[in-house]
Amino acid sequence: MIDVKQTTLDGVLIITSTRHEDERGYFSETYNEKQFREAGINAQFVQDNHSCSVHKGTVRGMHYQAPPFAQAKLVRVAAGKVLDVAVDARPSSPTFGKHICVELSVENGAQLFVPAGFLHGFLTLEANTHVVYKVDNYYDGDCDGAVRWNDPDLAIDWGLNPSAATLSEKDAAAPFWKDFTSPF
């Protein structure tokens, strides 16, 4: 069974699967196509990704894939803890430019479903954090894009001093929201 909660951004969902616990630990189905379809999630996932961030304070984002390779994502944490962030980048949406922040961890077992048309990123809240996510379209370098993670117009409260963030060169040089032309 899954518990699905709608966030303030249309289509962005927090999904928690039932855990079966005993003295060994627990077992949980993190994805069951039938249950997800019954919950209205019709993404057909084609690729699984796994990122490991060695340092607490690593920021990965805010990323997107433009059409025709736009991606919906189902994000979960396999080890550690993150602050997961989605920003609505659909100009026709009433929540265009708005964001949500959700803590994902092994302990809470929550997953975040992020439809195509959103920027996505996360901040590691613990060292050696592993994030695993399914996507419903293949990666294409020509469609890869990003917006500055600490953009003042987006005003995301990361709870982190920007000078303390561990970033890729790509993320550090990403354009600002005001310079972003949405492909969605």
- For the annotated catalytic residues, the residue numbers are 63, 133
For 35, the 3-state DSSP assignment is: helix
Q: How many CA atoms lie within 13 A of 120 on its CB side?
A: 23
What is the distance between the alpha carbons of residues 103 and 92, in angstroms, rounded to a whole number? Answer: 27
For 17, the 3-state DSSP assignment is: strand
For 74, the 3-state DSSP assignment is: strand
98 contacts 143 by C-beta, under 8 angstroms:
no
Give φ, ψ of 177 to 5 degrees. -55, -40
For 141, the 3-state DSSP assignment is: helix
Which residues make Cβ contacts (< 8 Å) with residue 91, sequence separation at least 6? 182, 184
